[in-house]
Amino acid sequence: MLIDLNLKGKQVVVVGGGREATGKVELLLHQHCQVAVVADRISDSIHQWEREKKLTCTTMIVQNGDFLKDYENLILVMAITDSRDLNRTLVMAGLKLGCYVYAVDDPEVSDFSHPSVIALDANVQVAISTNGKSPLMARTFRQRLEPILRQNITRIDLLQVRLQARMRELAKEQLKDIAERKKFLQDIMVNPEIQSFLERGNLQEAEYFACQQLKKLSK
Ligand SMILES: C[C@@]1(CC(=O)O)C2=NC(=C\c3[nH]c(c(CCC(=O)O)c3CC(=O)O)Cc3[nH]c(c(CC(=O)O)c3CCC(=O)O)/C=C3\N/C(=C\2)[C@@H](CCC(=O)O)[C@]3(C)CC(=O)O)/[C@H]1CCC(=O)O
Ligand SMILES: NC(=O)c1ccc[n+]([C@@H]2O[C@H](COP(=O)([O-])OP(=O)(O)OC[C@H]3O[C@@H](n4cnc5c(N)ncnc54)[C@H](O)[C@@H]3O)[C@@H](O)[C@H]2O)c1
């Protein structure tokens, strides 16, 4: 099952600081969570993020998962070392603490896996999974699909998503009936004036126009 994890405000510990850990840490940085990296070798990129105060690093040789107890609000343990035994030990320790767990070399014991992701912008992502059968093919599909998606989901569509997000919040406050809210959002989506504001990249004007429409309905 593909799900979108909400890690906002939570603590995540990543054990490992190599190539695989660096890729996963980069994804975590977009999740508004606290990231702690623990490893005896830590990549330059991770050190750079530490200097930018985006995460914390601890350089040490990990023998077991005892140190995990020291983290408050810990929700996720990611075991991303090149030692299969250590990854397993960390997964067991994480489970004992009631955390979600992930081992880079063991989909069987992990609570989730990573699909191949096409991020069209900060809001819209397309994920491709082969259910663990072939990561290489997931990557190949991503490379094949990315140009097609970028052709079909335009800059205007992505602006429409941002407009919809804003208007949806306001509609939830101001229109009591769900059917009425849905109709309002659909009307905005196809409204020619709004389209033309978005074509010119003018999200502010589009929002102002949509607010006027909402005002008429909520009277
Ligand atoms: C999609 C992607 C996302 C990402 O990692 O962010 C991803 N793997 C990618 C690439 C890739 N990984 C590997 C190769 C070498 C060729 C090959 O093995 O096929 C390549 C290809 C390459 O590097 O080009 C090796 C590998 N992968 C796993 C193991 C462990 C194992 O299977 O036991 C081993 C070691 C196997 C061994 O020891 O031989 C396991 C997993 N890898 C997954 C995801 C999850 C399933 C997702 C799915 O199938 O849909 C899953 C189950 C768990 C997880 O990692 O979350 C990313 C492409 C990103 C992109 O470019 O778009
Ligand atoms: N899921 C995937 O898509 C995928 C893809 C490629 C490889 N892998 C697996 O991921 C593993 C890691 O790959 P990598 O390229 O990141 O390796 P790497 O050698 O670049 O990094 C290994 C990291 O583990 C740390 N480490 C190992 N033992 C430690 C210990 N006792 N205490 C603290 N830190 C320790 C090292 O300091 C280093 O930071 C591989 O062994 C392979 O099994 C998975």
Read off the pLDDT of residues 122-174 as tens digits, 9 standing for 90 and up.
899 999 999 989 999 999 999 999 999 999 999 999 999 999 999 999 999 99
pLDDT at 199 over 80: yes
* Average pLDDT of the segment spanning 185-203: 97
Mean pLDDT of the chain: 96
113 Cα to the center of ligand 1, angstroms: 9
Read off the pLDDT of residues 28-48 as tens digits, 9 standing for 90 and up.
998 899 999 999 999 999 999
Mutational test site, ligand 2, from 19, 67, 82, 109, max ligand atoms within 8 Å of CB = 82
What pLDDT does residue 30 have? Answer: 87
Report domain extents, the chain. Answer: 1-114, 115-153, 155-218
For the chain, give the percent of residues with pLDDT over 90: 94
Residues in CB range of 17: below 8 A, 6 or more apart: 37, 39, 40, 41, 42, 43, 46, 57
161: tokens are 């998503």
Ligand 2: residues whose CB is within 6 Å?
A: 16-21, 39-41, 61-62, 81-83, 86, 104-105, 135
* Average pLDDT of the segment spanning 87-115: 96
Start-to-end C-alpha separation, the chain: 43
139 Cα to the center of ligand 1, angstroms: 9
What pLDDT does residue 218 have? Answer: 85
pLDDT at 219 over 80: no
* Average pLDDT of the segment spanning 195-219: 95
135 Cα to the center of ligand 1, angstroms: 4
Ligand nearest to the CA of 24: 1
- Rounded alpha-carbon distances, angstroms, from residue 81 to 7, 22, 45, 47: 22, 11, 17, 17
Read off the pLDDT of residues 1-21 as tens digits, 9 standing for 90 and up.
888 889 999 999 999 999 999
* Average pLDDT of the segment spanning 62-86: 97
Q: Which atom of ligand 1 is nearest to the CA of 20?
A: 5
Q: Which atom of ligand 2 is nearest to the CA of 61?
A: 32
Q: What is the ipTM of this complex?
A: 0.94
Pick the CATH number of 1-114 from 3.20.20.10, 3.40.50.720, 1.10.3720.10, 3.30.450.20: 3.40.50.720
What pLDDT does residue 61 have? Answer: 98
Q: Please count the CA atoms within 13 angstroms of the CA of 154 that sit on its side-chain side.
A: 8
What pLDDT does residue 112 have? Answer: 93
Nearest CA to ligand 1 atom 49: 132
Ligand nearest to the CA of 115: 1
Please give the backbone phi and psi of residue 191, each rounded to the nearest 5 degrees, phi first: -65, 125
